[in-house]
Amino acid sequence: MSEMVSGGDVVGARLRAASMRRRRRSLVAPAWFVLPAALVFAAVVLWPSVRSLRYAFTDWSGVGPAHSVGLSNFKALGSDPQAKAALEHTVLIAVVFTTLANLLGLGLALAVETRRRLASLVKAVIFLPAVLTPLITAYLWQFILSPDGSLNRLLSDVGLGSLQQPWLGEPGLALWSVLVVLLWQFVGFNMILYVAGLKTVPAELIEAAQLDGAGRLRRLWHVVLPQLAPAITINVFLSAIFGLRVFEQILVLTGGGPGYATQTLSTLVYVRAFQEGQFGYGAAMSMVLTGLVAIAALALYAGLARMRRA
Amino acid sequence: MRARVGNVAGEVGLLLLALVFLAPLLVGINLALRAPGLTTSYDALTTHPVLSEFTAAWRQAGMGSAILTSLLITGSSVLGVLVFAGLGAYPLARSTARWSKVTFGAFATGLLLPFQLALVPLFETMRSAHLLGTPWSVVIYEIAVNLPAAVFILTGFLRGVPVEYEEAAALDGAGPFGTWWRVLVPLMLPAFGTVAIIVAVIVWNDFLTPLLFLSGAASQTAPLAVYTFAGQLAQNYPLIFASLFIAISPLLIFFVVMQRHVIRGFAGGLKG
């Protein structure tokens, strides 16, 4: 706009702007531009999803005819101990992952957002696992965490042999091992989002606090954190949704085992629908998961928005 | 003097941090470079690195053609996403009509849907369209599933672009398509770059879709080839890791060369 104004007097510019506004109606891009994207998305994602969800009210096995069974799939969910365990694991993973990914992500961001020579290299190294295939977590970490794997061997080499564990084989431990692997692979995402947030904190604010004699921790708590509110919002939001939906990493790392110790709602949907042929039941479970994600997304959105206003 | 000691300590601290994150990959590389037939522990430092596991994996797992398939699938998917989402973002960013908001909302739900379930009805459709087992079944799915995020990023970006550029083009007599192609596409290039990087990483790494659509087919993606190969190997970790590092090498090279752009792309794209 400013370029146009500089050409003539103010009144002339106003007139021209007004005629532009009138013309803008005809300038709006034609709706058909969005048709290819909408059609592809509707045909390949939306419609099959809707078709799939309809099976939640049937006993369909994946092939052959489907018979309507009303709500019995949802009733069965309530009395399926494995579904209950999967729900607990899903919530646990989402809560612990969100908490640690944000604390560690912010800590790492503060560590690499310095003028040190190695900082940008270290930032790239920490982010690297996040752009690698989930198969990395499968093979590398299965090897490292296996009973005679690198971690146990390292423990015995440094004289801590008593701490050796079957990291993925012990039901009580496997879920925490999975969480460590998830953090190793994805905390770099949180870090770079916090780094981007830190860049928006005005240096004058920090200098002013420094002049007022505020120490490092006080500056972080009273000056930097409030400025990071948008970064915290998006980070918490993304990691919670990721945590609730985490799928491939668990499928390839433990396959939900040992037993059902690391099964989450998304992996159990896959097991029931694809491996056991209970497609209708899996579809019902998937509806529950979708509802959970939607509720969490809305609640987080409202909660974080209120926090930012406060 | 004290400041210098502090500086060195800081650099050493950073180096240790990097090492923690790099350690699992180093364990894998160490093992993949090991000479076959050694009887030392799998964690022993490989003092005489050889590439024999890599050449064996390359031949036996058919990694050459798998990487070509992955390149074809990734390239086509990125191009498809950019064209569809780039076109769609134009009216979605500029129109305030009801249909525009509804369409935008429909794309938004796509970010929350659990994607696994759509795969079964889709599997049948692909089979009846004789696309199953061809790279195109994967390309079609990847384009569709990545559209919501791309539409979000591009629409958000375009809303920040002043409408005056389009008005100037319209005064010069350009139609809507000409305006899009000659005015908006050049302006959207940075956002296109962001989307291309994110989609390329997601598509290259995707494992479940090729597993369902390409299992047993002649064309395999790089991760799928590793998975199939590893399944026949019964924990022959040196060979598994060698094939794994071949599969991730194109992405690894891309990341090392384009490091700043990749990090900025993900930071910017996810923030939006």
Q: What is the pLDDT of residues A58-105, one digit of tens each?
A: 988 877 888 888 888 899 888 899 999 999 999 999 999 999 999 999
Average confidence (pLDDT) over B168-180? 85
pLDDT over 70 (residue B82): yes
Domain spans, chain B: 1-50, 54-271
In angstroms, the Cα distances linking A265 to A107, A170, A172, A242, B248 are 30, 20, 18, 13, 29
State yes or no: pLDDT of A228 exceeds 60.
Answer: yes
Position A310 confidence tier, pLDDT thresholds 50, 70, 90: low
pTM score: 0.86
Rounded to a whole number of angstroms, the distance between the first and last alpha carbons of chain B is 45
pLDDT, residue B141, reads 93
Write down the H helix ranges in chain B: 2-32, 52-60, 63-94, 98-109, 119-128, 135-159, 164-171, 176-179, 185-205, 208-214, 222-231, 237-271
Question: Per the CB < 8 Å rule, is B116 touching A273?
Answer: yes
Residues 6+ positions from B212 with CB-CB distance below 8 Å: B119, B123
SS3 A265: helix
Put simply, the answer to whether B118 touches A49 (Cβ < 8 Å) is yes
The interaxial angle of helices B2-32 and B237-271, nearest 10 deg, is 130
On whether any CB of chain B is under 8 Å from the CB of A38, the answer is yes
Q: How is residue A81 written in tokens?
A: 């101990």
Q: Does the structure show a pLDDT above 60 at A24?
A: no
- Tell me the one-letter amino acid at B212: L
Higher per-residue confidence, B79 vs A53: B79
- The secondary structure element, H or E, covering residue A297 is helix A279-309
Whether B15 has a pLDDT exceeding 80, the answer reads: yes
The residue extents of the domains of chain A are 2-42+48-53, 72-309
Q: Residue range B166-180: average pLDDT?
A: 85
ipTM: 0.86
Residue A21 has pLDDT above 60, yes or no: no
Tell me the mean pLDDT in the region B51-68.
Answer: 91
Answer whether B102's CB lies under 8 Å from A33's CB.
Answer: no
Integer-rounded Cα radius of gyration of chain A: 26
A126 inside 8 A of chain B by CB: yes
Q: Which chain A positions have a beta carbon within 8 Å of B204's beta carbon?
A: 133
Half-sphere exposure of A7 (CA within 13 A, CB side): 10
Question: What's chain B's average pLDDT?
Answer: 87
- Tell me yes or no: is domain A72-309 CATH 3.90.226.10: no
**Paired strand residues for A68:** A58
CB contacts under 8 A, B 212-271 vs A, are 223, 226-227, 230, 237, 240-241, 244, 247-248, 251-252, 255, 259, 262-263, 266-268, 270-271
| Nearest beta carbon to residue A193 from set B15, B247, B270 | B270
Q: Which of residues 142-171 of B touch A (CB under 8 A)?
A: 143-145, 147-148, 151, 162-164, 166-167, 170
Q: Could you give the percent of chain B with pLDDT greater than 90?
A: 40
Residue A15 reports pLDDT greater than 70: no
Residue B221 has a pLDDT of 94
Close Cβ partners of B256 (under 8 Å, ≥ 6 residues apart): none
Q: How far is B43 from chain A (nearest CA, A)?
A: 6
Partner-chain contact B17 A20, CB within 8 Å: no
Q: Which of A4, A25, A26, A41 to mutate to test the interface with B (most CBs of B within 10 A)?
A: A41
- What percent of chain A is modeled with pLDDT above 70? 91
d(CA B221, CA B133): 11
Q: Which residue, chain included where needed, has tokens 């400013």? A: A2
At B191-206, the pLDDT tens digits run: 999 899 999 999 999 9
CATH number of B54-271: 1.10.3720.10
User: What is the overall mean pLDDT for chain A?
Assistant: 84
Give the number of other CB atoms < 10 A from CB of residue A76. 16
Whether residue B86 is predicted with pLDDT greater than 90 in this model: the reply is: yes
Stretch A171-175: mean pLDDT: 90
